[in-house]
Each structure stands twice: as C-alpha cells, then as structure tokens.
C-alpha cells in the first residue's frame, strides 16, 4: 500500500470511529458544535461580563442623553441583582463606519439597593437596572448591540435633547386592571386646567370602558399610550433555572416605567402622578407656580403633601358635581412632586433620587396633593383651602359631565367595585404568603380574568 492510499485509509477509519463514538455517547453533531461554542465563550468572555447565562431582559430602546455635561449612553433592564464589577459589552454602530466601537458599560439598580429595602419588593428576583457610560462621539449613532456571548440584543437609539418647550407633561405609571374611568376624566381635565398639555400612559390592562376613555383622549392628540405588556420569558436555555419574570417583579416594575417616561418629556416641567392624584398650588395653575419656583433658582422639584379626599355625591355615581368642593379627610400619606425635566436624573415614587446638577434641591410647596384614593377613610372631615381646578369649578364640572356623556354616547356605564375588590383581594393573598414578591402582573391574572374581559396590551419585542 503506497503512502497516499494509507493516508486515505487512516482518515476514513478515523472518521468512522468518531461517528460511532459520538453516536454511542448520545451527542449529535449539533450538540458537539454547541459544546465547542460554549467552551469558546467561557474562554473569551470576561468573568465579570454579563453573558447569555445571566437572567436579564432589556427595554428595546437605548438612549443618548445630552442633558449631561458629557453625552451619556443609557440602557435599561430587568435582571437579577448585579455587582459593581458586572458590565455589559456593548457595540456602538455609527452610520458610514463599518467597525463598531466597543464599550464596557456598568450599571446599578434604579432604586439604589438590590434587593430592594422596601418590604413587599424585597423578595422580588428581578429588579430594574440602569447601565450607563459617557460617549464622546454621538453623531450618526444608529444601533446599539449588547454582546452576551452566544446571544446578541439590538436596541434602537433615541436621543434626549437639552431643549425644552414651556409646558407640563404627565407621566402615568403602568395602568393595570384599571376600571375607574371616572378618575381619568377628572385627572385629565383637572391637569389640563393646570397647564398640562401631554399625558404619557404606560398601559398594561384595563376594562373596555376605561380603554374607551383613554382612546377618546388619545384621538384628541393629548394622550399617548406606551406599551407595557407581559415581560415575556427568558431564553429557553436558561428559562427553567430562574423564576418567571411576570411572577417575580414588583408591581409591573413601575420604577422602570417612570424613569423611561421622564426621558420622553419635552416640556420644562413634568411629574409622575397616578389617575387618582392631582397636585394643586394654593393659587393659580401648577405650571405657572412651578415655573416661578424653579426658573433661575436652585429648586429642582416641588413636593406636595398628601391629602385624602372624598366627594359628596361620589364621583362613581355617574356625576361630577361633588368635584366642586372636595371633602378632606383627616390623615396623611406619602407626598408626590413636580420637577424641572431638564435636571432630574433618577426618580423615585415619592422623591427625587438624584439631580443632574447636584446643587439642585427639592422644596416643600405651598399646595397640596389631592388624593382620591378609593376606600380611603379618615377619622373626621377637615377644612382646607384647595380645589381641583384653579378657577370656575362649575364650568369644569359641566365640561366633565358633557365629555363623559359624549364618550359613552349618552349612557354612562354603571360603576361596580367588584373589580377593585378583586385586585385588592389578590394582593392581600400575596401579602399573607411569607417571602413572596408582590408581583401583581403574573400572580393575579388568572383571578382577574375570571371577573371580566380585559383589554391587554400584547405588543411584542418591548422587552428583549
């Protein structure tokens, strides 16, 4: 046998042996390739780099924030707690440049501590995080890719400008299983009277009647819906190793939603307030008062003390006449605030966590937060000099009644507290379970679906 025949025989024999070996060991070619790729990944990825085995979901936008002295790349995610050493490997793609710029991007939880220090949120596995890095070249940036080893995530780029127009923008934390459409009419009309011109609503679910009201104001061009659907599942390779996201994130991750909304504000003044909350100054409109207090001063936000209010007759009796003279109830609660949108960095629910300008402060206001919380009870009624509208309340009451009548074609839906009782009942069941995350998104859906037919946001690829 000459040398060439011998080499052919040797190669053929080796190939047959290899095939029998891998077949007998239960590995097919694809599995071998995956193992080889996995070994390559473990060798090439820094041990502190967040990779495909890490439980994390990204919001679909990356932001270039020009409000900072040096423009900053900002990425938002839901994930297990990270350490100070953990980082993302991020590629920045610029128009006309073939080779991307690679950055190490470090992060932290939006709340500042992980796990949360707040009792009901402490057991939650998934926490809102922000990743950020200064960038020197910004023009032409059109794609951001996060490298997670054998998984890549592409984010759309949005720019946050320094220029703001005079006005007031309202941010709504995720609206879920919402049935109190009367609150929305009062909320929008009252805040409009105080200078608000734009309402940004992060939407998960609501009744058909509630959706009809939201859609009415959206068609007027003053309300915008931001999709906030199910957070979805982790990649199949790791999904069974960790809790489902919808079952272990605190109340739809409102920390994440509110801080995303703040980046969408294009007016001088903004706030984050629920549909049952209206902040009012002692005199005049909120916009005028906020501009006066925060223009050319060190004031970056104004805090408003909580005041629970009721109405006689109730707003839920298909009439708005009780709005003219709200009934104040003895007892307080957490405050809320309005802020200068050009200087706020990270927001908490009841206070500003940080300003872009460290010299900015939060000042106590001369006004009040009117909180129409369903079922709120006080020891007694008290007198206070505040109303929902800055002037001519009777005109606004008439306008709300006419608006509601027009939305529902002359026949207002009858209110029932069953749906509110349902979500409260679910939350109470969660609360009684020890060491359980108050994750109303996944844990309450089955119970709520038994009560009525809900309008759900089912937009895909919001979280990647």
Alpha-carbon distance of 458 to 35, in angstroms, equals: 36
Indicate whether 154 and 186 sit together in one domain: no
Indicate whether 207 and 337 sit together in one domain: yes
Radius of gyration for the alpha carbons in the chain, expressed in angstroms and rounded: 27
| Distance spanning both ends of the chain, measured CA to CA | 60
In a domain, 208, yes or no: yes
Indicate whether 131 and 202 sit together in one domain: no
Among 103, 134, 160, where does a domain finish? 160
Q: What pLDDT digit, counting tens, does each position of 272-331 carry?
A: 999 999 999 999 999 999 999 999 999 999 999 999 999 999 999 878 999 999 999 988
Query: Lowest-pLDDT range, 120-124, 145-149, 195-199, 273-277?
Result: 120-124
**Are 342 and 162 a contacting pair, CB within 8 Å?**
yes
In a domain, 331, yes or no: yes
Residue 327's φ and ψ, nearest 5 degrees, are -95, 120
The reply to whether omega before 381 is within 30° of 0 (cis) is no
Query: In which domain, by residue range, is 209 found?
Result: 165-407
Q: What is the pTM of this model?
A: 0.88
Residue 55's φ and ψ, nearest 5 degrees, are -75, 105
Residue with tokens 């439980």: 55
As for how many domains the chain has, the answer is 2
Residue with tokens 């011998």: 6
Indicate whether 316 and 189 sit together in one domain: yes
Indicate whether 274 and 126 sit together in one domain: no
Q: What percent of the chain has pLDDT over 70?
A: 90
Give me the pLDDT at residue 446, please. Answer: 92
Give exposure, 446-458, as e/b (b: 16+ Cβ within 10 Å).
Answer: eebeebeebbbbe
CATH of the domain at 96: 2.60.40
Give me the pLDDT at residue 28, please. Answer: 31
Among 391, 407, 423, where does a domain finish? 407
Tokens of 200: 């940004």
**Sequential DSSP letters for 106-150:** EEEESSSSSS-SSGGGTT-SBEEEEEEEE-S--TTEEEEEEE-SS
Question: Nearest CA to 362 among 347, 375, 377, 374?
Answer: 347
In a domain, 43, yes or no: no
Indicate whether 115 and 253 sit together in one domain: no
Among 407, 422, 437, where does a domain finish? 407
CATH of the domain at 171: 3.90.550
Indicate whether 169 and 140 sit together in one domain: no
Indicate whether 104 and 191 sit together in one domain: no
More confident of the two residues 259 and 139? 259
Over residues 234-247, mean pLDDT: 94
Nearest 5 degrees, angle CA 408-CA 313-CA 383?
130
More confident of the two residues 435 and 199? 199
Question: Nearest CA to 347 among 254, 228, 258?
Answer: 258
**Sequential DSSP letters for 260-317:** HHHHT--EEEEEE--TTEEEE-SSS-HHHHHHHHHTTSSEEEEEE-EEEEE-SS-GGG
All residues at 6 or more sequence positions from 202 whose CB lies less than 8 Å from its CB, including other chains: 171, 172, 173, 174, 175, 226, 227, 228, 257, 260, 261
Indicate whether 175 and 274 sit together in one domain: yes
Query: Lowest-pLDDT range, 123-137, 148-162, 297-311, 432-446?
Result: 432-446
All residues at 6 or more sequence positions from 146 whose CB lies less than 8 Å from its CB, including other chains: 58, 75, 88, 89, 90, 91, 152, 153, 154, 155
Over residues 84-90, mean pLDDT: 96
Give exposure, 139-149, as e/b (b: 16+ Cβ within 10 Å).
Answer: eebeebbbbbb
Indicate whether 132 and 196 sit together in one domain: no
Indicate whether 116 and 244 sit together in one domain: no
Give, as one character, the DSSP assignment of residue 357.
S
Query: Is the model's pLDDT at 20 over the cut of 50?
Result: no
Query: Is the model's pLDDT at 176 over the cut of 50?
Result: yes
Indicate whether 198 and 336 sit together in one domain: yes
């Amino acid at each position: 046998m000459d040398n060439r025949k011998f080499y052919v025989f040797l190669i053929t024999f080796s190939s047959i042996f290899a095939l029998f070996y891998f077949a007998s060991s239960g590995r097919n070619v694809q599995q071998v390739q995956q193992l080889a790729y996995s070994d390559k990944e473990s060798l090439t990825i820094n041990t502190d780099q967040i990779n495909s085995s890490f439980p994390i979901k990204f919001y679909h936008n990356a932001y270039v924030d020009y409000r900072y002295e040096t423009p900053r790349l900002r990425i938002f995610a839901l994930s297990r707690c990270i350490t100070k050493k953990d980082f993302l490997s991020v590629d920045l793609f610029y128009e006309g440049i073939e080779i991307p710029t690679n950055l190490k991007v470090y992060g932290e939880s939006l709340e500042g501590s992980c796990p949360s220090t707040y009792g009901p949120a402490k057991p939650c596995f998934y926490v809102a995080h922000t990743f950020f890095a200064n960038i020197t070249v910004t023009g032409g940036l059109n794609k951001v890719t996060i490298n997670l080893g054998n998984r890549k995530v592409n984010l759309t780029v949005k720019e946050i400008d320094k220029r703001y127009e005079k006005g007031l923008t309202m941010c709504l934390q995720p609206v879920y299983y919402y049935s109190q459409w009367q609150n929305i009419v009062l909320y929008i009309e009252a805040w409009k009277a105080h200078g608000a011109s734009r309402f940004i609503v992060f939407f998960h679910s609501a009744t058909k009647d509630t959706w009809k009201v939201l859609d009415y104001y959206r068609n007027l061009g003053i309300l915008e819906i931001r999709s906030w659907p199910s957070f979805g599942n982790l990649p199949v390779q790791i999904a069974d190793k960790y809790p489902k996201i919808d079952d272990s994130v605190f109340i739809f991750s409102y920390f994440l939603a509110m801080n995303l909304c703040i980046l969408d504000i294009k007016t001088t003044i903004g706030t984050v307030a629920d549909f049952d909350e209206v902040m009012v100054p002692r005199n005049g409109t909120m916009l005028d008062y906020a501009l006066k207090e925060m223009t050319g001063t060190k004031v970056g936000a104004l805090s408003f003390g909580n005041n629970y209010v009721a109405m006689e007759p109730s707003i839920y009796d298909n009439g708005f006449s009780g709005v003219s003279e709200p009934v104040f109830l003895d007892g307080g609660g957490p405050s809320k605030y309005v802020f200068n949108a050009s200087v706020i960095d990270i927001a908490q629910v009841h206070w500003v966590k940080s300003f872009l300008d460290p010299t900015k402060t939060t000042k106590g206001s001369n006004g009040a937060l009117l909180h129409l919380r369903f079922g709120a009870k006080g020891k007694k009624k008290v007198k206070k000099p505040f109303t929902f509208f800055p002037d001519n309340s009777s005109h606004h009451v008439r306008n709300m009644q006419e608006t509601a009548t027009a939305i529902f074609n002359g026949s207002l839906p009858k209110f029932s507290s069953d749906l509110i009782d349902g979500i409260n009942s679910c939350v109470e069941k969660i609360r009684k379970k020890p060491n359980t995350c108050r994750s109303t998104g996944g844990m309450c859906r089955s119970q709520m679906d038994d009560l009525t037919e809900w309008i759900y946001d089912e937009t895909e690829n919001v979280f990647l």
